[in-house]
Structures are given as structure tokens and as C-alpha cells.
Structure 1
Amino acid sequence: MPTKKITYLVDGFNLYHSVRKAGKQLKASTKWLDLKSLCISMIHNFKPKADKLELENIYYFSAYAYHLNDPDMVQRHKSLVACLEDTGVKVEINRFKYKAIDCPFCNKTIPKYEEKETDVSIALKLQEIFIKDECDVAILVSGDTDLAPAVRLAIKLFPAKHTFFAFPAFRKNNELAKLCSGSITIKPKQYSKHQLPNPYILQNSSKIFKPASW
């Protein structure tokens, strides 16, 4: 049985909003997510034919919300990222972009911050991992339709590769589901099942404690 390599591309904010909603629904802790454990648990869902799958990489794309002027929020996020990196997840931190919006009703300029670089980063990484032959199967953990053009291009340029979606809970998108080799939707209970230990002990023996509000 041939072994196929699998790589996950994770839309951090799309996943976060799903995890947050799941926590409220379950009335359980879900934000201290062990992303690697979650991804490994889903591998069996993406087997092309009778091939054996082996995890190659997990890429996590996100950004720190400095514009909210909440240092504790940013630190909580950084604590989680440090744990994810320690488990072997490859993290790419992008940024929020300022955008001025002119209100037609009050004639005032309203400041708005949008996290837009993640979509582009995921789209480019999808092409990169196929070009470099890093993996045979790519799993996009997102329900963002902005990724549709990237998926179409990957399917066109790399017909021998497989692209799947693992939609975060409550974020399934039928348009994206029709584009790819297949899709699943993560169940809310999977988040509470795959949580990091508290405290998380890094490989250098230092400890990171789960934020009290999580």
C-alpha cells in the first residue's frame, strides 16, 4: 500500500470563531486547542482510494490583534502559538490592515481593521507545497470562499494531487465543498476532546499555563 503525504493549511481566525462558538454551545473549554492532535485525528477521513496517509506538515496562519488595544488578548494568543509551535506546527503570523470607511449617513470616516493577508498566504502556500512536491494531499481548514480561486488553480495545475476541506464547526460552505476532492465538517465536541495539557510543558522544560478565561 503506497503512502501519501498529507499537509494541513489552517485559517487561524476562521477556526477561532468556530472554536469560540463551540465553547459557548458546549459550555466547555475549547480555546486551548491542540491543533496537531485534532489534525491527526482527522487523517483517516481523507484517504484517496486505498492509500495510506502520513502527516507531513501543519501550517497555521493568523495575526495578532494589536489594534484592539488589549494586551491580555494578544498575550493569550501568543501563549497558544508558542504551544502550537512546540508541537511542530509551522506558524505564519500576518497582520491586520487599516481601512478608512466613509459613512454616507453621518459623513464621518470610520476606522476599520481587516485581517486580509491570511487568505493570500494560504493561497500561495497551497501552490508552493504542490510545486515543491511536499505532499500529495492538502487539507484546508477553513470555510472562507476567498480561497476558491486558489483551490481551482491547484486542481488545474496539479491534477494528480488531492485537495480537501475540513470545515470548522458552523463554517461549512457548499460552494467550496463542490470544488475539491471531498470535505468534512469538524464537530464541536472534537474541539473539547483535543485540548492541550495545562500547564503545557515546552521541550525546554518551561511551562505555559492555559489562560484563566479559557
Structure 2
Amino acid sequence: MDVVAYVDGFNLYHGLKSKYGRAYLWLDLVELIRRIRRHDTVIKVRYFTAIVKGEPDAALRQETYLSALAANSPEVEIIRGHFKKKTARCRDCGARWTCECDPPQTFHTFEEKLTDVALAVAMTMDAASGYGDMSVLVSTDTDFRPAVEASLQLAPARPILIACPPGRVGPKHDFSGQVIAFAIPEEHLEASLLPDEVTGPDRRTYKRPDKWSG
């Protein structure tokens, strides 16, 4: 079967980091999907993410990783969303975003936008057009349930696998056996790291960030 994978970048990142620290952040996504589906052909890995705001060092590491991914594997497609500034005003002391000031202080954070919608649309469109024979969703975000249901309606014979990132709880939806959810084994992660240095077709080299060395 020809496999198309859809990777929720932040769901995967937070799952990896919460369970294994930074050991597996330098992850070869194509190799990971190949190990999940050893007897199939991975024709596309669509990776959905957004560059963090307010943290220039983290943003640089992220850009380095994205460049390494693209340079290492032509099967990878990177789809970017963005972060939008969000204001949260404290209400009850002791709750999140609170203070004891009068009047209350205003706090700023950033909210990821567009990546979830882009993933859902891509997954549904591929099912509708018949691109690939199988979908692999790397995420446990329940917001993707409508996309899974639409894909099943458009292509009932197309298998859908949900690969749950480490430390993430799998979806609690009953898809009547049409969807298989499973945890990504650590041995697949161990065997799916990019080389410490990745050289692209243009001869540019991208090095694994020191902070991601374990």
C-alpha cells in the first residue's frame, strides 16, 4: 500500500518531550512511518507546525530541524501555520493567568493557528482524491475526529491508523473497528533519528542542536 502520513507537529513534540526529554526531537519522520508500516511504501509525510514566538533560540532550533527534514527526505512536505498573540486577563486568584493586583494585570501568550485546520483539510482531500491507499495520523487531538469521519465516508475502504505520540492518551472514539489506534513504540523512535549532520542537495549542512542531544 502507498501510505500518506499527517503529523501534528506540536502534539508529537510535547509527547516526546514530556516522556523522553529531548532525546528524540531530531526525528526522521519518514523513517518512523516506514517502521510503523514496514511492508508498505511511504509516498508523503505532511508535517504541520508553526514557528514559536518570543523564543528566538527555540525558533532557530525549530528552523534547523525543518531544514534538515526537508533536506533528508523528499517525501516530507512542511505545512506552516503561525502563532497569534493572545491576551488573558486574570480573574480569580490562584487560577491560571491570575494575580492579586487591583486592577488585574494583563498577561500575553501565543496561540497556534491554522495548523489543525490545514491537517484536517489535507487528510480529507487526499481521501477524496484517492491519493495514497492508507492514512496515518500522528496525533491524539480529538479535534481531528471530523476529518477521520469524513475520510471514512469518502473512502470507506481506505485504512486509517492513529499513531499516538508517547505520553499521549489515544482517542476515545468508537469508529466501529475502521480505525486502529496504537502507541508509537520507543524502539521505533530510537531507530528513526536523523544523522547528527544532514547535508541537502544544495550542499548546505544542518547540525543537530546541542540542546537536542539527549
* Alignment TM class, shorter chain as reference: 0.7 to 0.9
Amino acid at match of 2:113: K
Where do 5+ consecutive residues of structure 2 fail to align? 93-98
Kindly indicate whether the alpha-carbon contact (under 8 Å) linking 1:163 and 1:182 is maintained by their aligned counterparts in 2: yes
Kindly indicate whether the alpha-carbon contact (under 8 Å) linking 2:8 and 2:138 is maintained by their aligned counterparts in 1: yes
Q: Structure 1 21/104 Cα, relative in aligned 2: closer, same or farther at 3 Å?
A: closer
State how 1:88-127 maps to structure 2 within 5 Å: 88=74, 89-105=76-92, 107-127=104-124
Q: Which runs of 4+ in 1 moved over 4 A?
A: none
State how 1:1-214 maps to structure 2 within 5 Å: 4-24=1-21, 29-44=23-38, 53-66=40-53, 68=54, 70-86=55-71, 87-88=73-74, 89-105=76-92, 107-176=104-173, 178-179=174-175, 180-214=178-212
**Alpha-carbon displacement from aligned partner over 1:162-190 (angstroms, at most 9, x marks no partner):** 211011111132414x3342122112343
Could you tell me how far apart the structure 2 residues matched to 1:198 and 1:173 are?
31
Could you tell me how far apart the structure 2 residues matched to 1:35 and 1:158 are?
25
TM-score (norm 1): 0.85
Cα RMSD between the aligned structures? 1.8
**Alpha-carbon displacement from aligned partner over 1:13-43 (angstroms, at most 9, x marks no partner):** 111112212333xxx7211111111111111
Return the offset for 1:9. Answer: 0.2
Could you tell me how far apart the structure 2 residues matched to 1:133 and 1:109 are?
48
- SS of 1:160 mapped into structure 2: coil
Percent same amino acid among aligned pairs?
A: 28
Task: Please name the residue that 2:96 is paired with.
Answer: none
TM-score (norm 2): 0.85
Kindly indicate whether the alpha-carbon contact (under 8 Å) linking 1:76 and 1:211 is maintained by their aligned counterparts in 2: yes
Kindly indicate whether the alpha-carbon contact (under 8 Å) linking 2:170 and 2:182 is maintained by their aligned counterparts in 1: no
Return the offset for 1:96. Answer: 1.1
Return the offset for 1:203. Answer: 2.0
Where do 5+ consecutive residues of structure 1 fail to align? 45-51
Deviating more after overlay: 144-153 vs 104-113:
104-113
- How many matched pairs? 198
